[in-house]
Structures are given as structure tokens and as C-alpha cells.
Amino acid sequence: MAYKIAKLPGDGIGPEIVEQAEKVMNAIGEKYNHEFRFEFGITGATAIDQVGNPYPEETHQLCMDADAVLFGAIGDPKFDNNPKAKVRPEQGLLEMRKRLQLFANIRPVRTFESLLDKSPLRADLVKGADFIVIRELTGGVYYGEPRGRSEDGNKAYDTTIYTRDEVVRITELAFDYARKRKKKLTAIDKANVLATSRLWRQTIQEMEKDYQDVEVEYMLVDNAAMQIIQWPTKFDVMVTENMFGDILSDESSVITGSLGMLPSASIGIHTSVFEPIHGSFPQGAGKDIANPLATVLSAAMLLESLNLVEEARKVEAAVDASMNAGVVTQDITRGKAYGTKAVGDWLANYILKS
């Protein structure tokens, strides 16, 4: 069967890591008799430089027509803290989320035996940690209006808005994930202070009757931030609003010991997007040192979204095998460091031969 994949490498190391994921998917295609048709689109700083828009219309149409989007990274230091910049690369990511209606960000957090000593937390705390943060992605303070600053610049304001339908939509997805795992859901909010959080909690409480097989726990976000560090193995599926999810998923990412190992999926009304959670690492671009494993694991999530479950498990097995064999980049190696392309070649070869 043929699948159309929009390939958006983006900036910095994006092209290098997406290239390795493409190799792996092509190996899967060869082994399982699938065809993946990759179609290239520009985004981020690269797109600003070429057409002045970080998410041009041509790229949007490419995404809309695709079965899935494989995304690299966005960001360029020349736009950082630059008051003269009229548009920034990150605006392209927000625009893509909005126009594709990517309402849910899925971030799995799983520790790897060979990386336990690289976590800033004690190995006995993080060993066995395996949970998912489900973040609402198109509402909340990042998109609320009005926002702005007073004329004298001494006051600023943002608005947080959520509707019941938005909460129901993301929570239904979270319940579905919980049912496929350990049947435990942690709903994270700030209901003791925020009206929007009280709406979240009330809505989820009303939904519980339809998911009686799932244990639901409610937790304030400050307590959750503490417990993720103290007892990361106690969590399974978490669901929360946009800003809280942004912060908690980044906090959770350090548990594994490397940002280069964490994939993500943004689930949409139209086309879903699969990307590593790390940034564009511009200082590493073109040096063949970037860790491609998070992007490869994002490709596994992409495959699973297409109901290619066996194929997704094969990609995950290849990543585990590469780590056990020490075929990894310099950020997680215990000995010899392999280049980005060499790791991609090894993974593709493993898939074809195993």
C-alpha cells in the first residue's frame, strides 16, 4: 500500500535527522511491502529566508493532502531576541498547529536501561518509568485573546480561554490511551485558583461515568511537577491544558537522560504531525553528530497512526538493538561515537535483516 508523507525537515539539524527517519521508513516499506512517498516542504527559518513566511501556503496544502507529516525542528539563532524580526520561525509551528487543528500533543516518556546513569535523577527512581503526557495544544493562554501591553509598557496581559468541547475532545483521547495501557489517568490542573481549571476538572468528573474501567486521579500542577521528579514510575497517562502540558512534558523529558531519545505526536482533525521534542541545535548542523533516535521513534509513532503496528514495533526494536550494540551518537555513547548517518544506516540494515 502507498502512503503520502509530508516531509518538513525545517532548520538546523532537522534535515539530517529526518533523513535517517526516512531511511528507516523506506527499510520498513521494503520489508513489509509498503510504499512511502515523501514530499518535501519548507518551514521555519528556512521558509522565512526563501519566501518570508515560516509556514507558507504550499507547505500547508502539502500537509493537508498527506497521510501524515514527518517534521524535524524549527529555530535559528539569528531570530532570537531580535527586535527587528517581523516574523519568527516558531510562529510557523503555531500556525501549523492552528490550521491543521492539532489539538493533542502526545509525549511518551520511557527510560532506557543503558541511559539510567545519564538521568539527573537516581537510577532507582527512574528505572521502569514509562508514561505519556497528553497536552491540549490549540487552546489556553497561548491562543487566548485579548493579549497585549499598555502604551507605557508597564503592564501586560494574556487571556486563558477553554470551552467544554475542547476539554472533552482531549480527555476522550486520554481515556482511550489509558484503556490501552494500565487504565490509570491523572488529570492535572490548578482548580484551586483558575476558573478554566475548574471547568477542566468538572468536565472530566462528568466524563468518568463513561469510563468506569479507568482509575482517575486529580492533581494540582505544582504537586504534579514535584511528584514527577520524586516518583516518576507512579504515572501512566496524564492529561492537561496547553501551558501546563508544555512545562510538565519538558520537565519529564530529562528523566530519560537525553532529549535526543524522546518522540512526540501532534494529533489533528486533519493531518497528524510526528516530530522529536528537541530543538534545532543549530550549532550541530552539518556536523553529523545529531542524535536521530527521537526522530526515528517519532516515525514509529507515525507508522502506528497508520495502523502499521507490527512495523512500528520493528522500528522500536531496531532502536533498542542499536543502543544495546552501542551504535549511538556522541551524546549517549559509552565508548565509540557513531555519526548521524551511520546510525541511520545501521537501523535500516537491522530492519532489513532481522
Q: Rounded to an integer, what distance in angstroms lies between the CA atom of residue 48 and that of residue 92?
A: 9
Phi, psi (5° rounding) for residue 62?
-60, -45
Q: Rounded to an integer, what distance in angstroms lies between the CA atom of residue 269 and that of residue 192?
A: 32
Question: What integer pLDDT is reported at residue 171 of this predicted model?
Answer: 98
Question: What integer pLDDT is reported at residue 259 of this predicted model?
Answer: 79
DSSP H stretches of helix in the chain: 14-32, 44-51, 57-65, 89-99, 123-126, 164-180, 195-207, 221-230, 242-253, 293-305, 309-325, 340-353
Q: Residue 169: what residue type?
A: R
Phi, psi (5° rounding) for residue 184?
-135, 130
Question: What integer pLDDT is reported at residue 85 of this predicted model?
Answer: 79
67 annotated active-site: no
Neighbours of 189 (CB within 10 A): 24
Of residues 19, 17, 79, 69, the one with CA closest to residue 45? 79
Q: Residue 44: what residue type?
A: G
32 annotated active-site: no
Question: What integer pLDDT is reported at residue 284 of this predicted model?
Answer: 95
Q: Rounded to an integer, what distance in angstroms lies between the CA atom of residue 200 and that of residue 145?
A: 19
What the block records as the C-alpha cell of 177 is: 490511551
Q: Is the pTM of this model over 0.85?
A: yes
- Determine which one of 190, 211, 338, 350 is catalytic: 190
Question: What integer pLDDT is reported at residue 196 of this predicted model?
Answer: 98
Bridge partners of 162? Answer: none
Q: In 3-state terms, what secondary structure has residue 221?
A: helix
CA angle 94, 240, 292 (to 5 degrees): 55
127 annotated active-site: no
What the block records as the C-alpha cell of 298 is: 517519532
- Start-to-end Cα distance in the chain: 22
236 annotated active-site: no
Q: Rounded to an integer, what distance in angstroms lies between the CA atom of residue 140 and that of residue 90?
A: 17
Q: Rounded to an integer, what distance in angstroms lies between the CA atom of residue 2 and that of residue 223?
A: 46
- Determine which one of 65, 80, 117, 222 is catalytic: 222
- Determine which one of 67, 158, 250, 288 is catalytic: 250
Q: Rounded to an integer, what distance in angstroms lies between the CA atom of residue 34 and that of residue 227?
A: 43
What DSSP state is assigned to residue 125?
A: H
- Determine which one of 142, 158, 341, 345 is catalytic: 142
Q: Splitting the chain (354 residues) into consecutive groups of 10 residues, what average pLDDT does each group show?
A: 96 98 98 98 96 97 98 92 82 92 95 87 93 96 94 96 98 96 98 98 98 98 97 97 95 85 93 95 96 97 96 96 94 92 98 96
Residues 66 and 41: beta-carbon distance below 8 Å: no
Question: What integer pLDDT is reported at residue 253 of this predicted model?
Answer: 85
Residues 69 and 36: beta-carbon distance below 8 Å: no
Question: What integer pLDDT is reported at residue 240 of this predicted model?
Answer: 98
From the number of C-beta atoms within 10 Å of its C-beta (0-12, 13-18, 19+), residue 279 rates as middle
Q: Rounded to an integer, what distance in angstroms lies between the CA atom of residue 112 and that of residue 326?
A: 13
Q: Rounded to an integer, what distance in angstroms lies between the CA atom of residue 227 and that of residue 224?
A: 5
- Determine which one of 189, 236, 246, 331 is catalytic: 246
Name all domains of the chain by residue range, CATH numbers in brackets. 1-100+277-354 (3.40.718.10), 112-269 (3.40.718.10)
Question: What integer pLDDT is reported at residue 347 of this predicted model?
Answer: 98
Of residues 301, 338, 279, the one with CA closest to residue 24? 301
